[in-house]
A and B are shown apart, each in its own frame.
Chain A
Amino acid sequence: MFKEKFKYILSGVIGIAAASLLLTGCSSSSSSNGKTTLQFFSTKTENASTYKKLISKFEKQNPNISVKLSSPSNAGTVLKSYLSKNSIPDVMAVGGDANFLQLEKAHVLKDLSRQSYVSKTQPVYRKMITSLYSGNKLYAVPYAINASGVIYNKKLFAQAGITETPTTWSEFINDCKILKSKNITPIEFTFKDSWTTLAVFNQLSANMISKNWINKRLDNKTTFAKTHKQVMAKYLELLNYGQNDYTGTSYNDGVAAFAKDKAAMMVNGNFVIPGITQLNKNADLGMFMLPVNEKAAQNKVTSGVDVALAISNKTEHAKAAEKFVKFLMENGNAKQYTKEQFAFSAIKGVTQNSKLVSGISSQLEKGQVVNYPDHYYPSALDLTKVLTQTGVNAKSGMSASKNITQSLENADKAFNSANIKE
C-alpha cells in the first residue's frame, strides 16, 4: 500500500519538474483577444522614459496594438539568452556595435533597405551599419547618433584666459599647459570605469588609423605594435594632464568633480552632458571635437550609431512591427527623442539645437564624421583592460617608450585571443 502512495508522489514530483522545464521553453510574444502585443527590446536603459512616452502616443493611434518595452541593464547578455532560446523580440533598438553584429550573424533580422523611411536617414550612418557585415542589405535603420569630443567648462577656460577652442593637436596641448600653469586640472579622467579609456582612445585612433586597417589586422597582416605607436603616444601625452588619481576615479565621481568646476575638460561623448547638468544646473558647458591632427581640416568627429531599429524576421506581427518602426522614424517623434535624450538624429533635417553642443553639431550636419574603431573589433576583444593597465603603468612611473611597446604588445595579444574564426 505504501509503495502505491510512493509511486504517486514520485510521479507527481517528476511531472511538476517536467512541466516546469516545458513552461520555461515556450514563453514568447503572443496575441490574445484580438490585440497584438509587440515585444520591444532596447539595449539602453537611460532612454526608457522617452520610449515610454512615444509608446503611449503610438498606442493611442493604434488601439489594437500594445507595445511592451524591456530595457534590462545587462542587455548584451539578455540578447544572447534570447538567441540561445531561438526566440527574439519583435522590434529591437540596438547600438551599431558587437551586440547588433551578433544578431546579424545569427540571421534573425529582417532586411529593411526597401522601407520608405530609410531614404530619410543620412547615408554616412547607413554605411556605418552596412559596413559591419558583407552584402548590401540593411538589417537595422540608424535612429540616434552619439558624438565624441571634449566637454569643457567655459568658466575655467575664461579664467585661464583661453578664448578660442583649439583646432589642432598642438593648440590643444598648449591649452592644457596653460590650464595646468594656472593650477586648474586640465582633464578629468575616469579610468576606474574602464570603458572611459576607450572613449579617449577611439577618438585618437579614428583620426589617425585608416579604415581598412582592421581588415588587415583581422587577417593577421598587421599589428597594433606596427601601426599604433603614435596613437598610444598621444594617449599617454593626454594622461599627463589628468587629475592626480585618474586611474582610481569612477565615472560618477569624475562627473561630479567636473560639475563642481574641479577640472576644465572631459574627453568623452555628448551623453555625459545630461549627468553634469543634473548635478549643476548653472554649469557653463560647451563641446568641441578632440583635434587629433595638426591640420585642422583633417580632424573629424568620432560619431557612431547609438540606436538603430531592427525587426525580427521571425515575428508573427510583421505589420504591427513595421508600423511601430515607421512611427518612431517620423520626424516629430525623432525630434522628441533627440531633444529629450540629448542625442543627435540620423534623420536628415532633425537637428539638435542645444547650445551646449553647438561646437560639434555643424560637423555632424556636414557629415564630417568617422565611426568608432572599436565597433569593428572582434566582440571578444576588451581593449579597455589594456588601456587601464597603460594608465596604471604611467602612474607608477614606467617610461613612455616602454609603456607604449608593452601596451601595444598586450593589445595584440588580446586581439589574437579574441580573433578566433568561427
Chain B
Amino acid sequence: MERLKKKRDITPYLMVLPLAILFFIFHTVPFLRGVFYSFTDWPGYGGWHFVGLRNYLYMFSNSQISQAYWFTFKFALFATIFVNAISLALAVGLNANIKYKKVLRALYFLPYMMGMLIVGFIFNFIFGTMIPNFGKALDWSSISTNILGTDHAWVGILIVTIWQGMAFNILIYLSGLQSVDDEIYEAALIDGTTPWKRFWKITFPLIAPFFTINLVLSVKGYLMVFDQIMAMTSGGPGNSTTSISVLIYTQGFQSSQFAIQSANAVVLFIIVAAISLLQLNILNKREERLQ
C-alpha cells in the first residue's frame, strides 16, 4: 500500500520532467539571456557593457519602433475581430444540417495545413499577377496594381491572415458547438424563438469558453505577427508593414542592434502577457455571468 502511493506521486513528475528540462534549456534560458542583454550594449558578438535602462529609453524616442507598435496594434485589432466574427459565422453554418458537411469542413480546414510561407508566396502571385491582370482586362485601375506595393499593403496581409487564421478558429468553435445539447434547441423551438435569439441567448453563452480561448490566442498570435509579412512584403513598402517581430528580427539580427531589440522583445512580451491576462480575467467573469 505504501509503495503504491509513492509510485503514484512520482509518475507525473517523470512524465513532465523531460519536457520541462528541454523547455528550460531551449526557452527559458534564451529568454533570460535576452532579458539580460537588454540591459547591455551587446551588438550580437564580441564584448559588452552594462548600460542600464538606455535601450528602453531609446525605444520610446525612436519613431521607427513606435511606428511598428502602432501598425502591430492596428493589425492585431482588425485581424482578431474579422477572424473571430467570420469563423464563428462559418462554424455555425458548418454545424447546421447541410449537405456535404464533412467535405466543407475539410475544405475550410485546408489553409491550416499549409505553411505560412507557402501561403505567402501563393498570395504574392495572386496579388502581384492574377488580380492586376484581371483588373487590366476589366479596365479597373483600382485593382490593376499590386496591393502589396501601395499604402494599403497591410490590407493585403490582413486578407491573407484572415484566410489562414479562420481555419483553426472554425475548428475550435465547431467543437464548442458540438458540445451543445440538441435538446436545448428543441425546447427553445417549442417556445417559438427566432434563430437570432437562439444564437445570442443559448448558443453564444454555452460556447463562451471557446470564444475566450480563441480571442486570447488570436490577440497573442497577431501581436507577434511575423511569417506572413516576411513572405509577402518584408515589412515594406517603406516601414508600412513592419510589425514589432519583423523589426526585432531585421534590426536585431541583420543590423547589429541586438541589445536594443532585446529590450523591444521584453516590452513586447510584457504587453502580450498583460493583454492576455486582462482578457482572460474579463472574459472569465463574463462567462460566469452568462452561465
Interface residues of A (CB under 8 A from B): 2, 6, 9-10, 13-14, 17, 21, 76-77, 80, 83-84, 86, 102, 105-106, 191-192, 194, 244-250, 253, 379-382, 384-386, 388-389, 391-392, 395-396, 410, 413-414, 417-418, 420, 422
Q: Are A2 and B256 closer than 8 Å at their CB atoms? A: no
Interface string of B50-73 (1 = CB under 8 A from A): 000000000000111000000000
A2-B7, A392-B238 are contacts. A245–B144 as well, Cβ < 8 Å?
yes
Docked complex Cα distance between A64 and B238 (Å): 52
Of A80, A192, A392, A395, the contact of B253 (CB 8 Å cutoff): A80
Q: Are A84 and B144 closer than 8 Å at their CB atoms? A: no
Q: Does B10 contact A (CB under 8 A)?
A: yes
Q: Are A14 and B149 closer than 8 Å at their CB atoms? A: no
Q: In the complex, which residues of chain A have a beta carbon less than 8 angstroms from the beta carbon of B197?
A: none
Q: Are B150 and A77 closer than 8 Å at their CB atoms? A: no
- What's the minimum C-beta distance from A293 to chain B, rounded to whole angstroms? 29
* Residue in A closest to B20 when the chains form the complex, CB atoms: A13
Docked complex Cα distance between A377 and B10 (Å): 60
Q: Are A380 and B255 closer than 8 Å at their CB atoms? A: yes
Of A21, A392, A420, the contact of B149 (CB 8 Å cutoff): A392
A21-B25, A389-B239 are contacts. A248–B14 as well, Cβ < 8 Å?
no
- What's the minimum C-beta distance from B173 to chain A, rounded to whole angstroms? 35
A247-B237, A386-B238, A392-B149 are contacts. A379–B255 as well, Cβ < 8 Å?
yes
Docked complex Cα distance between A247 and B144 (Å): 12
Q: Are B64 and A414 closer than 8 Å at their CB atoms? A: yes
Q: Are B237 and A84 closer than 8 Å at their CB atoms? A: no
- What's the minimum C-beta distance from B36 to chain A, rounded to whole angstroms? 14
Interface residues of B (CB under 8 A from A): 3, 6-7, 10, 14, 17-18, 21-22, 25, 41, 43-46, 62-64, 124, 127-129, 132, 144-151, 233-240, 242, 250-251, 253-257
Q: Are B146 and A2 closer than 8 Å at their CB atoms? A: no
Q: In the complex, which residues of chain B have a beta carbon less than 8 angstroms from the beta carbon of A102?
A: 45, 256
Minimum-distance CB pairs A-B, first 6 = A248-B146, A248-B149, A389-B238, A380-B255, A247-B149, A83-B45
Q: Are B150 and A106 closer than 8 Å at their CB atoms? A: no
* Residue in A closest to B147 when the chains form the complex, CB atoms: A248
Q: Are B21 and A392 closer than 8 Å at their CB atoms? A: no
Given contacts A17-B22, A80-B45, A249-B149, 6 further A-B contacts (CB under 8 A): A244-B145, A245-B146, A248-B128, A250-B128, A389-B237, A392-B150
- What's the minimum C-beta distance from A307 to chain B, rounded to whole angstroms? 20
Docked complex Cα distance between A422 and B260 (Å): 13
Q: Are B255 and A84 closer than 8 Å at their CB atoms? A: no
Q: In the complex, which residues of chain A have a beta carbon less than 8 angstroms from the beta carbon of B44?
A: 80, 83-84
- What's the minimum C-beta distance from A224 to chain B, rounded to whole angstroms? 15
- What's the minimum C-beta distance from B64 to chain A, rounded to whole angstroms? 6
Docked complex Cα distance between A391 and B146 (Å): 14
- What's the minimum C-beta distance from B241 to chain A, rounded to whole angstroms? 11
* Residue in B closest to A250 when the chains form the complex, CB atoms: B128
6 pairs, CB–CB < 8 Å, chain A vs chain B: A10-B17, A17-B25, A83-B44, A84-B44, A192-B128, A244-B144
Q: In the complex, which residues of chain A have a beta carbon less than 8 angstroms from the beta carbon of B149?
A: 191-192, 245-249, 392
Docked complex Cα distance between A192 and B127 (Å): 12
Docked complex Cα distance between A75 and B144 (Å): 36
Q: Are A395 and B150 closer than 8 Å at their CB atoms? A: yes
Q: Are A396 and B151 closer than 8 Å at their CB atoms? A: yes
Q: In the complex, which residues of chain A have a beta carbon less than 8 angstroms from the beta carbon of B43?
A: 422
Of B22, B46, B129, the contact of A253 (CB 8 Å cutoff): B129
Docked complex Cα distance between A413 and B64 (Å): 9
Q: In the complex, which residues of chain B have a beta carbon less than 8 angstroms from the beta carbon of A77?
A: 253-254
- Interface core residue of B44, B144, B236 (most chain A CB under 10 Å): B236
Docked complex Cα distance between A297 and B281 (Å): 72
